[in-house]
Amino acid sequence: MNENLKNVLLTGLDSRIPVLRPALASALKPARGWLRAVRSVLGLSQQDVAKKISTTRQSYAGLEAAEQRGAISLNSLQRAAEAMDCELVYFLVPREGVARTYRELAQRYDPAFKHLQATEHSMALENQAVGES
């Protein structure tokens, strides 16, 4: 990937972290899944939602079960969310303890950065360290 484009993308992704990281705790999936939780609080039956997405009650029940198992497709989850007048939102955030930003995460996967870290470690062992990598 072109370095300029990569930097623009990393800057854009990193600018979202202050909003996304705090949302993680709020976005934890309910024990029986978002579809069942939302459908229940809206007072809708499985048949009601199934009709809105032009499928059978049994097929919709399968969607709820698939979500609970973590096996539902994004497309199916999107369709069911729309049937209940909801938005599907998903995002990826670097794991705590691994990287604070996408840029740091990208560096961890960069072969040149890994070589730099190894060199820095070797130099530190020889009391020749130049600072943080």
What is d(CA 112, CA 105) in angstroms, rounded to the nearest whole number? 14
What is d(CA 46, CA 55) in angstroms, rounded to the nearest whole number? 10
What is d(CA 5, CA 11) in angstroms, rounded to the nearest whole number? 10
68-83 per-position pLDDT tens digit: 999 999 999 999 999 9
- Residue 127 and residue 82 share a domain: no
- Residue 18 and residue 47 share a domain: no
- Residue 81 and residue 57 share a domain: yes
**The tokens 């049937």 sit on which residue?**
83
- Number of domains the chain contains: 2
Q: Which residues contact 78 (CB under 8 A, 6 or more apart)?
A: 88
Count CB neighbours of 58 within 10 A. 10
- Residue 82 and residue 100 share a domain: no
- Residue 103 and residue 74 share a domain: no
Taking each helix axis from N to C end, the angle separating 34-42 and 57-69, rounded to the nearest 10 degrees, works out to: 130
Range of the domain at 76: 28-88
- Residue 84 and residue 35 share a domain: yes
- Residue 127 and residue 77 share a domain: no
pLDDT at residue 120 is higher than 70: no
CATH number of the domain enclosing 38: 1.10.260.40
- Residue 60 and residue 17 share a domain: no
- Residue 41 and residue 80 share a domain: yes
- Residue 73 and residue 49 share a domain: yes
Residue 112: per-residue pLDDT? 75
- Residue 39 and residue 17 share a domain: no
- Residue 79 and residue 107 share a domain: no
pTM score: 0.76
H-helix or E-strand spanning residue 8? helix 3-26
79-107 per-position pLDDT tens digit: 999 999 999 999 999 999 999 999 999 99
